[in-house]
A and B are shown apart, each in its own frame.
Chain A
Amino acid sequence: MLGSLPSEKGFETAMIDGWQVCERVAHDRIDDEVVAIQLETGEYFSMRGAAADLWAAFATGTDEKALAAAIWRQANLNELELESSIKKYVSELQEASLIERAQLEHASEAVLLTPFYDGLVVERFTDMQELMLLDPVHDVEPESGWPFKASTSLV
């Protein structure tokens, strides 16, 4: 529930349960496409159209309600379709470790720039994983230090 709660200092804003871009993700947008790289896994992702537009809101933190509002204004979806679409999109991003849960003071508004809503498609590429060099920061044996590999991966 959103609203303001009294505190010793007066009133403070209730935090919103939302989503934000994970720390170890690099991302940028050119034209209508966002490219995001998960630096831990070596996977990278492409989002175009509506998926790219909505992604911008995750940079400052947003929630499903804000995402749904953006699509609702433009797409001819019923409530069930809208909810299912957002749920699948967010779930895909979370599963790929591109976004994570966050407590937000406010959810950033999402804006659709694309003139035609064409679904929320996230393309996943795994072909670069084999090119990644061993990153000992996450693979080091804490007792003996580097370059001894941990017996079980810490990643």
Chain B
Amino acid sequence: MIETSVRIGIARLGPLVLDVRGALGDPRNSVVARGLCLDEISGPSGVDELGGAHVTGTVVVKTLAGPPIDPRLVPGGSIKALYDADHGLAGWWDRERCVGEWSVRTPGIPSWDVGAPMRPVIAWALEESGCVLVHGAGIVGRDGVILIAGRGGAGKSTTAMHAVASGYGCLGDDYCLVDPRAAVAHRVYGTAKVHDTEYPALAHRLGTLGAAFGRCEPPDHRTIVRLPNSIMSGQIVGVAVPVRTPSLAGSLVPCSGSVLLREIAPVSILQLDVDGRVALPLIAELLRSVKTYELHLGVDRASNVEALGSLIGAPLFEPFLPV
């Protein structure tokens, strides 16, 4: 068994701070730790230095060959827990004591948990913070952030990584931490999943930054890569749901926020088992306060990124190699 203590803290209006260096005894996770921002935002003792922390606590991460964690634990009251036998994942969080555990079975840690570990525990820790983990990719331009929300396979990650290759910042391709009242999105994980059909071209454009970090489990044929920039937060100016179209060029088409509520809320709430009675109004509040769109994805990937640029402005960085 490898066991390590993880400090978890959420600063008021600040980013999630999660130090997972050395977690699982796998050096690859130190990459995740940088993505999780502790080093880049506030130094190694960031949790303490940020001050005004809304939630702080400790998560013990274990890898196990046998059954997961303490069988005497009975969830309920202040304790939330899950046991995913199929993937060998188990975890719990006690909101009163701000202590939790995250266990993964070895061998065979699901690659998506390497790229984005402990999502449920993070979501539970956030439940009373006024922030919410939203299922969506956050793309950052000079004029703000657009959250692209949608189901798996809808085109979020592909669009996000093409935007990254064009010089835009990215707060995450799958989940972002959102403060709905301020309409601000924060990065949680410094990784993204790229579909195998897109990976060779993106890896070529991104160079070493597009190097594979891990693999998703079949049938999800995706490669996990590091996000190549260190943008951690941004003001949300719009939320969009991708819609595949046969058109050549992509475009942003205004739509009702209710369409997005239906796309974002169920998956954000049910997949992470957070209290929907708290999270749903928070997501709705965000959608009432920003512009909402359908992102009509064209066959031309570059045009999809240009469509995003019409809302979020120019890229923050020089583009990587052209397509």
- Please report whether the interface of chain A is mostly helix, strand, loop or mixed according to DSSP: strand
**Pairwise interchain contact B73-A133, C-beta atoms closer than 8 A:** no
Segment at the interface with A among B107-115, B198-206, B274-282: B274-282
Q: What per-residue 1/0 map shows which CB atoms of B269-292 lie under 8 Å from chain A?
A: 111110111011101100110000
Q: Which residues of B contact A31 (CB under 8 A)?
A: 256-258
Q: Which residues of B contact A131 (CB under 8 A)?
A: 267, 270-271
**Pairwise interchain contact A146-B83, C-beta atoms closer than 8 A:** yes
**Pairwise interchain contact B265-A37, C-beta atoms closer than 8 A:** yes
Given the known inter-chain contacts A31-B257, A147-B90, please indicate yes or no for A132 contacting B262, CB distance below 8 A. Answer: no
A28: which of B74, B90, B271, B280 is its contact (CB, 8 Å)? B280
**Pairwise interchain contact B269-A147, C-beta atoms closer than 8 A:** no
B161 at the binding interface (Cβ < 8 Å): no
B118 at the binding interface (Cβ < 8 Å): no
Q: Which residues of B contact A35 (CB under 8 A)?
A: 258, 261-262, 265-266, 280
How many Å lie between the Cα of A102 and that of B71 in the bound state? 38
Closest A residue, CB atoms, query B91: A133
Segment at the interface with B among A78-86, A89-97, A113-121, A135-143: A135-143
A109 at the binding interface (Cβ < 8 Å): no
- Measured CB to CB, the closest approach of chain B to A60, in angstroms, equals 15
Q: What per-residue 1/0 map shows which CB atoms of B27-68 lie under 8 Å from chain A?
A: 000000000000000000000000000000000000000011
Q: Which residues of A contact B254 (CB under 8 A)?
A: none
* Number of CB contacts from chain A to chain B under 8 A: 112
A27 at the binding interface (Cβ < 8 Å): yes
A interface, size bucket: 20 to 34
Segment at the interface with B among A1-9, A10-18, A39-47, A69-77: A39-47
B266: which of A32, A128, A136, A144 is its contact (CB, 8 Å)? A128
Closest B residue, CB atoms, query A129: B270
Q: Which B residues are closer than 8 A to A by beta carbons?
A: 67-69, 71-76, 80-85, 90, 120, 256-259, 261-262, 265-267, 269-273, 275-277, 279-281, 283-284, 287-288
Q: Which 5 A-B pairs have the closest CB atoms?
A: A26-B276, A33-B258, A147-B83, A28-B284, A26-B280
Q: Which A residues are closer than 8 A to B by beta carbons?
A: 25-33, 35, 37, 39, 42, 44, 46, 125, 128, 131-137, 140, 144-148
Beyond A33-B262, A37-B265, A44-B262, 6 additional pairs, beta carbon < 8 A: A25-B277, A26-B280, A30-B261, A33-B258, A42-B266, A136-B82
